[in-house]
């Protein structure tokens, strides 16, 4: 199905926010009878009746402000001319929006505005897309009798510090939409109005410019600005878009809806989609501005092959590359066995594309050696929630946080890693909800503008389970559990077993203190708040899963939620913050060695037979290799061929040297990616991938929300990712015949019960759908487990604390933990190729001043970090965000080698690597490490081999 082209126009703006609940109120506007919920403004009621009241300071993402005085109306029985944006409707009201008197007033106001505004409309970047311009036209302004020689702001200098947008104060009409957007929508409070009266100007701080200020470059102010004052640089350069395509962001698991606004084949702006249910018109610096990577010069656009990795590449046609790959794979299977090849599907590619990869492995390779990056991030969520609740996914939608009274954030940093959700969270906190942060670091939520955690429990890395047990112990001990819920909804025996376990004295907060480092008092306070504070919701991330007890921790979280009855309605729940844009989808599509699509075991005959029936091929009943097993097997000689799609294991998986050795021992490594990533340097076949702008399909976000990805431009490499996989499968002899991703989705729906009702037609109509989408819930399921759990009754699982094998020793006395930051994304492949590097050009090591001082380390020093696995070098940044004894870094730049140091320790159930706990020592050094030197020279060499590529 071809993407629908929509002519570009600004998205409809109803003036003030929608009111969702409330009695219907009937009123008359310009003779028309309108009915809207109580609390709706007169302005919005008019818009909904098709009547546009002229406006400037009102926009429907922000609360009414009442400053422009253009939207005045006449209301029968009331004196004066109330502003329609600030006036709520009342039953029986009679409103007139146009009259001679109102026209005179509006012209009078506009005359004042234009007396202090540059008159260069025809050459202005927002000519044709400017609310000031349109409103002047709407009110019929003909004359500015004050002249233009009076006091004005038209000579003010521009602030061009940000790489992405310009702030031109000379065009500012002081409507405060940007200030309010930064407060209400984003929650960063970076903007204010400084000065009084006529001198009022938008300001980012006393001296600062946008770049140096608190601004996080989310673009909310730019979207809110009605004039050219805040405009994207891409628009200034290129002009107003002429058509747009609605799609979904390819960065994180929030899955913001965007309008890719284009001129011809070029995306000139990504505007957040107001009807996107995940983001409702908001975005972050990455999705909003960092889309340039898709046309970066580093884009690989030609298939390449080579026999060995020290040879130059040979550029070939698609057919030749695919035939070569297929031949090599079959050869390896002949030599080493059916199970000697496998694939890693991408959690960044679409559901349809991932479906094809796992299908190819199962029907083409004939084994179950398929895995995905969820292995290294949320696989414990999959396991843990399946065991306890019966479904490997979060239980709510993002909007649910607006109904939460107590919010627990554990091992996650939403304001940086899921920023648009972080903004929703902060809004709810500003309304008075309570916050408990469980994290070794003082993340931003602990104390940000107008947001403060009630409790911060700085748990020692590795002791999550001990802490959660202590909280549960307290809930039981102090009689705070929801006995009715447990009785009605959970398995009795499992609960009893768990109950006698949790009541043991070693689970008391006082006993756990020694392991967790958290005061017993605070644990008790947290337990009381969570159990009795109202609707309580838990949000967690990789600080929970990337541990040797990751799965146990997830189950402990589910236990707590069931224990207190905080499941099955809005405002509560267990919410894993999935990292990648389609990691949920990748898991749903069965990218697992042990599970077929829909999380059903390959060993289950009935399930397997249904697939065999549909696909016409006998399937392997034995689970295949997980990614860590693939590496082990590669080194021991049993695994020799790998199809790796959109996943950079050489940079993102732990124990880099182990991974590199494994890759080196492969006989056929096929990498499909948009850039020559670290893994590709070890590849024999390179297939150019397609970015999210270059294909149709769907992504599934952390809310289980399936949204459309729509093609905005032709794939630079000539094929969309699904077409490449299709080609490879066909080259392997699979008798496949897919014309479109829509067709693939039809197959997915037929074979995956939770997707049964999903069609592209429905997605077109509803915008998106949260699975389960079945007959009983044909428009999707926002809240899960409302009347019963997916597995029937909830299962309490005993969660005994087993400390990680990774201990601090005299040699390695510090614990290193890792995380994400706002501007760079994951391995940085995309964001490093955009202006986002302005904010984070290198990874640094955050170290507490005490630890730094005792080691003679000062700010900016090169620091060597060594673990029992390896060592690397980073620059030091002294920080109070970490407690003494803990250091922190990110892994956005390959040269940082963060994973050179991380260990093989992993979750007992899923092998999710224990990225969050590595015993290290840090010391001042004078230069980067040996590994880093080798990485840089290897990188240089491999890049050369691409440049030297001959055309075959």
Partner 1 sequence: MSLRVYIARDTTAVAVGAERVAQRFEVEATQAELSYELVRNGSRGAFGLEPLLEVDSARGRVGFAAVTPEDIPEVIRCLKEGVFDHPKYVGLITEIPWLSNQTRVTFKRCGEGAPTDLKNYQRLGGYEGLKNALGLSSQAIVDEIKASGLRGRGGAAFPTGIKWQTVLDTDSDQKYIVCNADEGDSGTFADRLLMEGDPYQLIEGMTIAGVAVGATQGYIYLRSEYPRAQQMLEQAIDAAHAAGLLGQNILESTCSFDLEVRMGAGSYICGEETALLNSLEGKRGVVRAKPPLPAIEGLFGQPTVVNNVLTLASVTAILADGGADYAHYGVNRSKGTIPLQLAGNVKNGGLIEVPFGASLRSVIDEWGGGTRSGRPVRAVQIGGPLGAYLSNEQLDVTVDYEALAAAGGMLGHGGIVVFDDTVDMAKQAHFAMDFCAKESCGKCTPCRIGAVRGREVLDRVCESGATEDDLILLMDLCDTMEQASLCAMGGLTPLPVKSAVNNFPEDFDVAPENSEVAV
Instruction: Collect all residues with Cβ–Cβ distance below 8 Å to 387 and sequence separation of at least 6.
Output: 551, 555, 795, 797
Q: Measure the CA–CA gap between 525 and 19, rounded to whole angstroms.
A: 35
Selected range binding partner 1 among 112-120, 211-219, 325-333, 764-772, rule: CB under 8 A: 112-120
CA nearest to 347, candidates 376, 326, 369: 376
Say whether residue 199 binds partner 1 (CB under 8 A): yes
Interaction of residue 112 with partner 1, rule CB under 8 A: yes
φ/ψ of 274, rounded to 5, equals -70, -25
- Return the range that interacts with partner 1 (CB under 8 A); candidates 109-117, 251-259, 738-746, 767-775: 109-117
| Beta strand pairing call for 24-29 and 32-37 | antiparallel
* 838 lines the binding site for partner 1 (CB under 8 A): no
Q: Which is nearer to partner 1, 116 or 723 (CB)?
A: 116
Asked if 952 is part of the footprint of partner 1 (rule: CB under 8 A), the reply reads no
Smaller CB distance to partner 1: residue 76 or 478?
76
Phi, psi of 542 (to 5 degrees): -70, -15
Task: Using the minimum distance from each CB to partner 1, give the nearer residue, 87 or 817.
Answer: 87
Helix-then-strand count for the chain, H and E:
30, 39
- What residues have CB less than 8 Å from 189, skipping those under 6 apart? 182, 183, 214, 449, 450
DSSP designation for 94 = E
Residue from 234, 231, 223, 129 nearest 182 by CA: 223
Nearest to 151 by CA among 177, 182, 116: 116
Does the protein bind partner 1 through residue 83 (CB under 8 A)?
Answer: yes
Q: Is 74 in the site for partner 1 (CB under 8 A)?
A: no
Q: Which is nearer to partner 1, 198 or 338 (CB)?
A: 198
Which one, 156 or 821, has the nearer CB to partner 1?
A: 156
- Choose which of 67, 209, 610, 783 interacts with partner 1 (CB under 8 A): 67
Q: What is the DSSP letter of 866?
A: E
Q: Which residues fall within 8 angstroms of residue 518, CB to CB, at 6 or more apart?
A: 457, 458, 459, 467, 470, 509, 512
Q: Which of 192, 220, 184, 196 is CA-nearest to residue 208?
A: 192
> From CA 70, how far away is CA 359, in angstroms rounded?
60
Q: Does 76 bind partner 1 (CB under 8 A)?
A: no
- Residue with smaller CB distance to partner 1, 52 or 430: 430
CA distance 910 to 913: 9
Task: State which residue, 180 or 608, has the beta carbon closest to partner 1.
Answer: 180
Closer residue to partner 1 in complex, CB, 105/211 = 105
Cα angle: 232, vertex 831, 215; to 5 degrees: 50
Query: Applying CB under 8 A, which part among 102-110, 654-662, 854-862, 939-947 lies near partner 1?
Result: 102-110
Strands 6-7 and 434-438: unpaired
What x/- string results for residues 512 through 541 when contact with partner 1 is judged by CB under 8 A? ------------------------------
Shortest reach from residue 532's CB to partner 1, in Å? 18
By CB under 8 A, the residues from 142 to 171 that bind partner 1 are 145-146, 150-151
Is residue 750 involved in binding partner 1 (CB under 8 A)? no
User: Considering only residues 3, 28, 38, 200, which one is a binding residue for partner 1 as defined by CB under 8 A?
Assistant: 200
Q: How far apart are CA 490 and CA 486, in angstroms?
A: 5
DSSP annotation string for 839-851: T-SS-EEEE-HHH
CB nearer partner 1, residue 16 or residue 294: 16
Q: Which is nearer to partner 1, 104 or 934 (CB)?
A: 104
Per CB under 8 A, 664 contacts partner 1: no
Q: Does 616 bind partner 1 (CB under 8 A)?
A: no
Pairwise CA distance, residues 400 & 398, whole Å:
5
CA 575 – CA 573 distance, rounded (Å): 6
CB atoms within 10 A of CB 446: 18
- Residue choice 197, 505, 616, 856 for contact with partner 1 (CB under 8 A): 197
Among 65, 639, 686, 812, binds partner 1 (CB under 8 A): 65
The order of strands in the sheet holding 266-272 is: 6-7, 243-248, 257-263, 266-272
Between strands 641-645 and 668-673, the pairing is: parallel
Q: Is 98 in the site for partner 1 (CB under 8 A)?
A: no
- Quote the least distance from Cβ 105 to partner 1, whole Å: 5
Half-sphere exposure of 258 (CA within 13 A, CB side): 34
With binding defined as CB under 8 A, does residue 662 bind partner 1? no
86 binds partner 1 (CB under 8 A): yes
The answer to whether the CB of 470 falls within 8 A of the CB of 438 is no
**Residues in binding contact with partner 1, number by CB under 8 A:** 38
Q: Does 22 bind partner 1 (CB under 8 A)?
A: no
Interaction residues for partner 1, span 302-321 (CB under 8 A): none
Pick from 22, 50, 92, 108 the residue near partner 1 by CB under 8 A. Answer: 108
Which listed residue (72, 309, 457, 671) binds partner 1 by CB under 8 A? Answer: 72
Judged by CB under 8 A, the stretch of 86-94, 154-162, 239-247, 713-721 that binds partner 1 is 86-94
450 binds partner 1 (CB under 8 A): no
Run of H or E including 523? helix 520-532
N-term to C-term CA, the chain: 34
Residue of the chain from 141, 193, 402, 511 that contacts partner 1 (CB under 8 A): 193
Q: Does 141 bind partner 1 (CB under 8 A)?
A: no
Q: Is 268 in the site for partner 1 (CB under 8 A)?
A: no
The yes or no reply on residue 100 touching partner 1 (CB under 8 A) is: no
The binding site for partner 1 (CB under 8 A) comprises 64-70, 72, 80-81, 83, 86-88, 104-105, 108-109, 111-113, 115-116, 145-146, 150-151, 173-174, 176, 192-193, 195-200
């Amino acid at each position: 199905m071809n993407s629908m082209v929509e002519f570009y126009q600004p998205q409809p703006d109803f003036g003030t926010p929608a009111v969702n609940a409330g009695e219907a109120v009937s009123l008359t506007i310009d003779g028309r009878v309108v009915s809207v919920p109580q609390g709706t403004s007169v302005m919005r009621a008019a818009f909904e009746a098709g009547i546009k009241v002229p406006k400037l300071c009102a926009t429907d993402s922000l609360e009414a402000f009442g400053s422009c005085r253009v939207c005045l109306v006449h209301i029968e029985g009331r004196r004066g001319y109330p502003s329609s944006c600030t006036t709520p409707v009342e039953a029986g009201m009679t409103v007139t929006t146009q009259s001679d008197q109102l026209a005179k007033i509006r012209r009078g106001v506009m005359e004042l505005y234009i007396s202090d505004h540059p008159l260069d409309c025809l050459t202005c970047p927002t000519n044709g897309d400017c609310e000031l311009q349109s409103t002047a036209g709407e009110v019929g302004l003909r004359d500015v009798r004050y002249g233009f020689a009076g006091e004005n702001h038209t000579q003010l200098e521009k602030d061009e510090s940000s790489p992405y947008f310009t702030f031109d104060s000379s065009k500012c009409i002081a409507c405060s939409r940007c200030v309010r957007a930064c407060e209400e929508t984003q929650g960063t409070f970076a903007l204010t109005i400084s000065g009084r009266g006529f001198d009022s100007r938008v300001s980012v701080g006393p001296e600062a410019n946008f770049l140096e200020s608190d601004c996080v470059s989310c673009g909310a102010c730019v979207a809110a600005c009605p004039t050219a004052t805040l405009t994207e640089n891409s628009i200034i350069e290129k002009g107003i878009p002429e058509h747009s395509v609605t799609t979904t962001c390819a960065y994180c698991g929030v899955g913001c809806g965007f309008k890719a606004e284009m001129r011809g084949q070029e995306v000139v702006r990504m505007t957040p989609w107001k009807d996107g249910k995940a983001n409702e018109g908001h975005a972050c610096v990455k999705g909003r501005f960092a889309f340039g990577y898709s046309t970066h010069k580093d884009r690989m656009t030609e298939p390449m092959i080579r026999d060995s990795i020290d040879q130059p590449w040979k550029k070939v046609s698609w057919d030749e590359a695919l035939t070569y790959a297929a031949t090599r794979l079959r050869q390896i299977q002949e030599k080493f066995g059916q199970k000697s090849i496998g694939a890693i599907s991408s959690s960044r590619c679409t559901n349809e594309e991932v479906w094809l990869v796992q299908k190819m492995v199962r029907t083409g390779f004939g084994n179950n050696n398929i895995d995905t990056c969820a292995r290294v991030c949320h696989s414990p969520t999959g396991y843990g929630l399946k065991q306890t609740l019966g479904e490997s996914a979060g239980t709510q939608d993002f909007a649910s946080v607006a109904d939460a009274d107590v919010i627990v954030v554990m091992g996650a940093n939403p304001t940086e890693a899921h920023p648009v959700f972080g903004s929703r969270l902060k809004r709810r906190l500003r309304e008075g909800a309570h916050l408990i942060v469980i994290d070794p670091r003082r993340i931003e939520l602990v104390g940000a503008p107008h947001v403060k955690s009630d409790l911060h429990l700085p748990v020692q890395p590795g002791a999550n389970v001990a802490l959660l047990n202590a909280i549960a112990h307290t809930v039981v001990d102090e009689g705070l559990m929801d006995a009715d819920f447990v009785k009605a909804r959970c398995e009795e025996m499992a609960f009893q077993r768990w109950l006698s376990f949790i009541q043991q004295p070693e689970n008391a907060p006082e006993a756990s203190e020694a392991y967790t480092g958290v005061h017993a008092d605070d644990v008790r306070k947290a337990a009381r708040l969570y159990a009795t504070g109202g609707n309580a919701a838990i949000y967690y991330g990789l600080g929970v899963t990337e541990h040797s007890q990751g799965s146990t921790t997830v189950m402990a979280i589910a236990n707590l939620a069931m224990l207190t009855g905080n499941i099955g309605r809005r405002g509560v729940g267990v919410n894993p913050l999935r990292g990648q844009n389609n990691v949920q989808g990748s898991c749903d599509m069965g990218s697992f060695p042990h599970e077929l699509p829909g999380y059903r075991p390959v060993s289950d005959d009935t399930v397997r037979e249904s697939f065999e029936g549909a696909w016409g091929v006998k399937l392997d009943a034995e689970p295949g290799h997980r990614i860590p097993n693939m590496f082990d097997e590669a080194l021991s000689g049993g695994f020799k061929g790998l199809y790796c799609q959109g996943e950079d294991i050489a940079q993102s998986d732990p124990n880099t040297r182990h991974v590199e050795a494994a890759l080196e021992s492969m006989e056929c490594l096929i990498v499909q990616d948009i850039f020559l990533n670290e893994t590709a340097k070890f590849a024999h076949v390179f297939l150019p991938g397609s970015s999210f702008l270059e294909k149709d399909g769907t992504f599934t976000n952390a809310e289980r929300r399936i949204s459309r990805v729509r093609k905005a431009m032709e794939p630079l490499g000539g094929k969309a990712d699904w077409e490449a996989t299709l080609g490879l499968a066909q080259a392997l002899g699979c008798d496949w015949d897919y014309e479109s991703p829509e067709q693939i989705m039809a197959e997915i729906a037929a074979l995956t019960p939770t997707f049964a009702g999903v069609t592209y037609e429905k997605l077109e109509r509803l915008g998106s759908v949260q699975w389960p989408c079945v007959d009983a819930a044909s428009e999707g399921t926002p809240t899960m487990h409302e009347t019963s759990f997916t597995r029937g009754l909830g299962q309490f699982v005993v969660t005994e604390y087993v400390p990680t094998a990774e201990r601090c020793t005299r040699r390695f006395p510090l614990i290193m933990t890792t995380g994400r930051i706002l501007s760079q994304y994951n391995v940085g492949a995309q964001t490093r190729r955009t202006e986002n590097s302005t904010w984070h050009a290198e990874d640094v090591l955050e170290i507490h001043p005490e630890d730094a001082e005792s080691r003679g380390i000062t700010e900016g020093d090169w620091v060597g970090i060594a673990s029992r696995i390896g060592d690397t070098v980073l620059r030091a940044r002294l920080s109070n965000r970490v407690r003494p004894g803990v250091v922190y870094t990110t892994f956005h730049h390959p040269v940082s080698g963060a994973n050179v140091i991380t260990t093989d320790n992993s979750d007992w159930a899923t092998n999710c690597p224990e990225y969050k706990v590595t015993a290290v020592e840090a010391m001042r050094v004078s230069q980067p490490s040996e590994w880093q030197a080798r990485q840089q020279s290897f990188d240089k060499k491999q890049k050369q081999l691409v440049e030297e590529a001959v055309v075959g």
